[in-house]
Structure 1
Amino acid sequence: MLDLMFSVSGDTIPADHGYFLHSALSELLPFHHDDKQRGLTGVHPISGTLCGGRKLAITDRSRLIIRVARDRVADYLELCEKRLEIGDSSILVGVPSSRSLVPAAALWSRLVTIKGFTSPPEFLDAAQRQIADLGIEGKARLLFRKGVSSKEGKTDNLAKSPFVKRTLNIKGREVVGFSLVVDELTADESLHLQIRGLGGRRSMGCGIFLPAL
């Protein structure tokens, strides 16, 4: 498995764009909409600069990154030079490069969602169980918030939750999740977690892990 990284150009997109991006990819590549055909393929959130109004400005460093099996790369090359409609905005997809997955003792995911678990203690327990089910002995922890509010999506008042809690909007319904770090990983465990991910909605940017900085 590897990360297929497409350059993108455009103006701004919604900061909470996971569902919009999933829909746009599914429209151009119908197999992407089907869980079985998509398999373990995941889609990273598009990077950019927060610019207010819950918008993300596309920059020269912005990328559409798809985590995909090496034998499925050709399926996604059709995205080259295509325009994706992301909510009320659009981006033009350029030529991709690729990068291999790199093991790290600690991995971080911007947003993990686990159905039925929205309070910090219950969510953390559920995440740890899923990690154990993958045969991984790493330790999960939530990230503490640094500020009171977020430009990306709704968050709890800091007095109610000290952790980074994010939402994913799907057709007007808000799905709640948390940023998560998994520590004490062996090299094999690290690669396994990056391949398998955690929780649901990987095609909407959730449960995708990167080496923690």
Structure 2
Amino acid sequence: MADQCHFLEIHYSLRGRTLPADHGYALYSAIKKQLQQSGGSDLPSDIPSDLHLSSIAGVPNGEGMIYLNRASRFRLRCPINQVRTWYRFFQNQVLDIQGHLIRLVQPRITLPEPSRTLAARLVTFKLEAIDHQDVPRYFLESCQKSLTYLGIQGRAFIPSDPDGNLARRTIQVKGKKVVGYSVVVENLNAEDSLKLQWHGLGGRQHFGCGWFYPVKEELDAA
């Protein structure tokens, strides 16, 4: 596993119009299919554990779709020694995401930025056996245990959505709805901030879950 200080981000602009709002698993599946079809000797046949993928932001239409705009990006994180491989693989790649075609263009490589506060749109843990009203408490306990395991000093909380309710989120994986929450982690030093951006929290990270970013990015995202 790459050291958390030795990874970079690659951002791609997009050519396309729409995506399903819940597209994390479909995006993963489309990338996996392209890898399997590429047959490149320097490429794996499956998405490796140290390639971290983000879901794509857009403008929701309220009917399960998002419109892509100039701020929409496909983002990934990978160890520095893999940047060349993934930069070339994804450049101009056309992905079919449940019938929605997007082309990845104009890649740029960026350094991850440490921030005292990080946010993730969706974090999931396996909590199926817990009574519904207790889920937020056990969920936050799982977050804190994971932070402790990673040696990260920080405080996790579930933010509220625009209606004032806890920011509960779902993702469809193989036809099954998985429930989680948005998460914010405060009071991070620079080293722990980079560590959290690399390792994330919870499961299903290949589907965009557990992807943490500096909260200032929320001002730029649609």
Q: TM-score w.r.t. structure 1 length?
A: 0.87
- Kindly state the Cα deviation for residue 60 of structure 1 after the two structures are TM-superposed: 2.1
Partner of 2:125: 114
Three-state SS of the structure 1 residue aligned to 2:102 is: strand
Say which of 79, 101, 107 aligns to 1:69.
Answer: 79
Q: CA deviation at 1:92?
A: 1.2
2: CA distance, partners of 1:33 / 1:78? 13
String of CA shifts for 1:14-37, please: whole Å, max 9, x gaps.
010000000011111243735xxx
Residue 116 of structure 1 deviates from its aligned partner by 2.3
| CA displacement at 1:101 relative to structure 2 | 0.7
Partner of 1:132: 148
Match of 2:50 among 21, 40, 56: 40
Give 1:51 shift.
2.0
TM superposition shift of 1:94: 1.1
Which moved further from structure 2: 43-52 or 19-28?
43-52
Residues 142 and 178 of structure 1 are in contact (CA less than 8 Å); yes or no, is this contact kept in structure 2?
A: yes
Partner of 1:79: 90
Is 1:11 the counterpart of 2:17? The answer is yes
Which 4+ residue blocks in structure 1 deviate beyond 4 angstroms? none
DSSP 3-state at the match of 1:29: helix
Residue in structure 2 matched with residue 167 of structure 1 by the alignment: 170
Aligned length: 197
Counterpart of 1:78 in 2: which secondary structure? helix
The alignment yields a C-alpha RMSD, in angstroms, of 1.6
**CA offset digits 1:135-174 (Å, max 9, x no partner):** 0111111111222xxxxxxxxxx7xxx3101001012100
Shift of residue 204, structure 1, vs aligned partner: 0.7
Take 1:33 and 1:208, find their aligned partners in 2: how far apart are those partners?
20
Percent of residue pairs bearing the same amino acid type: 34
User: Helix, strand or coil for the counterpart of 1:136?
Assistant: coil
Give the structure 1 partner of residue 204 of structure 2: 201
Q: Which runs of 5+ in 1 are unaligned?
A: 148-157
Q: Deviations over 1:47-83 (max 9, x none)?
A: 2111231111111221111111111112322122221
SS at match of 2:103: strand
Q: Which amino acid aligns with 2:200?
A: G
Change (3 A) 1:115 1:52: same
Counterpart contact for 1:5–1:98, Cα < 8 Å: yes
1:51 corresponds to: 61
Larger deviation, residues 87-96 vs 103-112: 87-96
